Amino acid sequence: MTDLAERLERFLAKRMPDATAIRVSGVEAHTEGFSAETFSFEAEVSRGGAAERRAYVLKREPVAGLLEPYDLEPEFRVLHALSEDPLPSPRTPWFESDPAVLERPFYVMERLPGEVPIPAPGASGEGPFDAAERAALAPQTARALAQLHAVDWRARDLGFLGAPGAEAASREVARWTERIERSGIAPDPVVVEALSWLRAHAPVCREVVLLHGDYRLGNWLVERAGAATRLAGLLDWEMVHLGDPIEDVAWCVSHLWRAGTPRAASLVPPLDWIALYAGASGRAVDAERLRFWELLAAVKMIAIQMTGIRAFCDGRTADLRMAIFDHQLAFLHALVAGLRGWLPLP
């Protein structure tokens, strides 16, 4: 879309009718994410004689991808509801569903400062952070998750996300099983067995909280400053939903995001991070519940990758990263085998 800047100017003009002039510049597509399309841009907004420059990020539904079918409106509504909350989520003023604007639905959020470290070992093999940064971020990430789980979702009218009752775990197993089936790709027997175990061992959900759904290294905006390193933002809310808080905890500490280290999110040993969360939330994390959600996390990732593989096979995407998942599934199958006790886990 070569005229994205012009289209954005027209969009912003309608949303800010008091502006006398709007100029969009620096439009840049971001390729880090594997799902919704992301663009950053700057808008200079003139009102009377004064001009203000602001940085924004736009997220647009892709044609095809890992989390299809897409509907960005729920995540927009959550982010919008949290816009004035002390939680480090970006202020998100606008959503647009009219395809005439940018061909597919999108929302615009304010750009927060910082960088997004990825879950990779890095040159040091220690992950993306040094020791001082790890020490600073571990409590902040635990605290932020506890804050999120403390949000009164009923008061914020977030019940539209669909509140499960005590059967939250079973619901999630069914959701991800359905996604695997929808891929039309036969799951590996290690996955079939894991799903059977999950169905038989789904814990009763004792409390329903607002879940990020993808709370992990790779979705954290960080301002690096040694011991003063700060968690500046929580990104990628596409999998936001209501459910068991331990689901988010298990996803965060999963082997999936340890960046080749023995540490949860490459920060601190998993049990230490869990203790930080327990302290911040006042919520105990029992081992059996955690075991369930850790296994579901691996199965969930397999389902997501199978969705991407299907999109590639169907020709609905030319993104070769979807094709890479085909051989990358071997890691996930080994993780599931390890979590089920067939293989020793690192």
Partner 1 sequence: MRIPVETLLNGVSRTLLEQVLPHVASRTARGQLYAAVDVLRNAARRLEWAGAPLETEAGSAEGALRTAASRLRESGAPAVAERIEANLRTWPAAPAAARAAAARLEIARAFEDLGALPAGVADAVRPILGGHLAAQAVRALALLQPSLLEEISRG
- Write the burial class of residue 146 (CB in 10 Å: 0-12 exposed, 13-18 middle, 19+ buried): buried
253/237 Cα distance (integer angstroms): 18
Q: Which residue, 160 or 342, has its beta carbon nearer to partner 1?
A: 342
Q: From the CB of 303, what's the least distance to partner 1, in Å?
A: 13
Minimum distance, C-beta of residue 117 to partner 1, in the bound complex (Å): 10
Q: Measured from the CB atom, is 281 or 305 closer to partner 1?
A: 305
Choose between 241 and 258: whose C-beta lies nearer to partner 1. 258
Q: Which tokens hold the place of 227?
A: 């011991």
DSSP, res 340: T
The percent helix, strand, coil of the chain (3-state, each to 5) is 45, 15, 40
Q: How far is the CB of 123 from partner 1 (least distance, A)?
A: 10
Q: 241 or 333: whose CB is closer to partner 1?
A: 333
CA distance 268 to 45: 43
Q: Which is nearer to partner 1, 92 or 305 (CB)?
A: 305
Count of CB atoms situated within 10 Å of the CB of 151: 17
Write out the two tokens for 186: 């036969």
Distance of closest approach, residue 275 Cβ to partner 1, in angstroms: 30
φ, ψ at 67 (rounded to 5°)? -110, 25
Q: For residues 336 and 237, what is the distance between their CA atoms, to the nearest angstrom?
A: 25
122 burial (CB, 10 Å; 0-12 / 13-18 / 19+) is middle
Q: How far is the CB of 40 from partner 1 (least distance, A)?
A: 14
Which one, 43 or 173, has the nearer CB to partner 1? 173
Q: Find the shortest distance in angstroms from Cβ 215 to partner 1.
A: 19
Tokens read off for 202: 């789904």
Task: Decide: residue 69, CB within 10 A, 0-12 exposed, 13-18 middle, 19+ buried.
Answer: exposed
Largest Cα separation within the chain, whole Å, is 69
Q: Which is nearer to partner 1, 101 or 313 (CB)?
A: 313
Question: Which residues contribute to the site for partner 1 (CB under 8 A)?
Answer: 31-32, 118, 120-122, 185-190, 192-193, 196, 200, 306, 309, 312-313, 315, 318-321, 323-324, 326-331, 333-334, 337, 340-343
Instruction: State the nearest-atom distance from the C-beta of 64 to partner 1, in Å.
Output: 12
